[in-house]
Structure 1
Amino acid sequence: MDLEAVRREYLAGGLRRNDLNDDPMEQFELWLKQSIDAGLKDPTAMTLATVASNGQPSQRIVLLKNLDQRGFVFYTNYHSRKADEIEGNPLVSLHFPWHMLERQVKVCGRVEKVSQTESLKYFLSRPKESQLAAWASEQSRPVSSRQLLMQQFGVMKDKFSKGEVPLPSFWGGYRVVPEEIEFWQGGESRLHDRFSYSRDGDNWDIQRLAP
């Protein structure tokens, strides 16, 4: 495989300071809406990077489930690897790869748990199968076979066959409170456009970065 020859030009259009909203959350919401309207698959998919106590970074894809001025919300098992690493180091990074639009967004910030009320509201909005899966899966723990996982799913399906599935005590949401948000737009000849918003008290400092 000649990977050195795999390349393309980015010609979708540039990004200028006058194009940007002074508020990065409003700018992000605009780009997210444009990604959804463009028909991108999984536009809310984001890579979450955490760091273990030994300094080893780890990444996985999670889904953005809420967005407001406070930050970016996702949900997970509180006993998972990501949760363990967040407990030891709440500084994380998010990455949104909107390749079809030749855009990407990077978020750096600090994680906090959302309220139980927020977690319950979202949990009740999920399909029942997804609710049961949250109970059945000991996320990030070794499992001997898929058959065993499906057996556990069946046990939970029988257990909660009548009535609503309760919110597990070990499951809920995290909010990434941003300190820095970078918007990247592909440019011709690798002269990409990058703008970084850095929190400055109640305001945001905006800088253009070299590609």
Structure 2
Amino acid sequence: MTSIASLRKSYERAELDEQASHADPMLQFDRWLQEAIQSEVPEPNAMTLATVGSDLRPSTRVVLIKGFDARGIVWFTNYESRKGKALAGNPYAALQFHWVELERVVRIEGVVEKVSDEESDAYFHSRPLDSRIGAWASPQSEVIPGRTLLVTNAAKYAAQFLLQPPRPPHWGGYRLKPDQWEFWQGRKSRLHDRLRYSQGTDGAWLRERLAP
């Protein structure tokens, strides 16, 4: 059996320095995301979302980024899920992208808010029909007796809504408004590059190098 402690990897693909990086972290993120897409890494849009509930227990799960602009990072989910309930009580969260093949990590922290109903409606109606039915069929994060419940619910809502299921009131988008970013580039000898961007009260971004 291979010892986990003995696993090693040398990171030598690229570098990240202050002069080559954007002063605006959103533009730096856009650059790295486009490079991840063009490099055809598996699911470049997958990100880990970390929340902390009222019980002060942190939890993580993988969600998919569905949009971003100067206002922040957007994803969609069930508002009544564990993450939705956590965000209702504590709107601060963290996101992480890990593009293994590029030896890169992006960490983002900030406050989360719901997107507008218009944004949620527009994205919901762009989804495949099965996904729209699924949003009705699954009581996300609740204990269920078995998969049969999901199949039964899907059949029920498919018959009820036919080809035009409306957006469920418990489903929609969130936007994380970043106030801190970190860009991590793996480097040889574990002397990795880490650039942190912190937003001041004036909205300006302070870029600093962190020790690996």
Residue of structure 2 in register with 1:9 after alignment: 10
Q: For the residues of structure 1 that align with 2:57 and 2:18, how far apart are their CA atoms?
A: 36
Q: CA RMSD in A?
A: 0.8
Q: Deviations over 1:43-86 (max 9, x none)?
A: 01000000011211000000000100000000011111001000
2:172 paired with 1:172? yes
Find the residue that maps to 1:179 and give its secondary structure.
Answer: strand
Percent of aligned pairs with the same residue? 46
CA distance in 2, matches of 1:3, 1:202: 43
- Partner SS state of residue 92, structure 1: strand
Shift, 1:148, TM fit = 1.6
- Quote the Cα distance in structure 1 between the aligned partners of 2:55 and 2:119: 32
Q: Which residue of 2 aligns with 1:95?
A: 96
Structure 2 residues without counterparts, runs of 5 or longer:
none
Cα-to-partner distance string for 1:165-184 (whole Å, 9 max, x where unaligned): 10111100000000101000
TM-score, normalised relative to structure 2: 0.97
1:45 aligns with 2:39: no
Other-structure match for 1:21: 22
Distance in 1 of aligned mates of 2:149 and 2:90: 33
CA distance in 2, matches of 1:91, 1:175: 11
**Partners in 2 of 1:179 and 1:14 — Cα distance?**
24
**Distance of 2:148 and 2:167 partners within structure 1:** 25
Deviation at 1:202, TM superposition (A): 2.0
Displacement of 1:133 after TM fit?
A: 0.1
* Alpha-carbon distance, 1:160 to partner: 1.3
Deviations 1:106-159 (A, max 9, x none): 000000000000000000110000000000000000111111211111111111
* Count of aligned pairs between the two proteins: 210
TM-score normalised to the size of structure 1?
0.98
Aligned amino acid, residue 11 of structure 1: E
Where do 1:1-211 residues align within 5 Å?
A: 1-161=2-162, 163-200=163-200, 201-211=202-212
Q: Identify unmatched segments of 5+ residues in structure 1.
A: none
What's the secondary structure of 1:19's corresponding residue?
coil
The residue type paired with residue 172 of structure 1 is G
Amino acid at match of 2:70: Q
Provide the C-alpha distance between the structure 2 equivalents of 1:86 and 1:198, rounded to a whole number of angstroms.
22
Counterpart of 2:177, as a letter, is V
Cα distance in 2, alignment partners of residues 135 and 41 from structure 1? 28
Deviating beyond 4 angstroms after TM superposition, the runs of 4 or more aligned structure 1 residues are: none
> How far apart, CA to CA, are the structure 2 residues paired with 1:79 and 1:62?
15
Task: Give the superposition deviation at 1:164.
Answer: 1.6
How far apart are the structure 1 equivalents of 2:92 and 2:15?
31
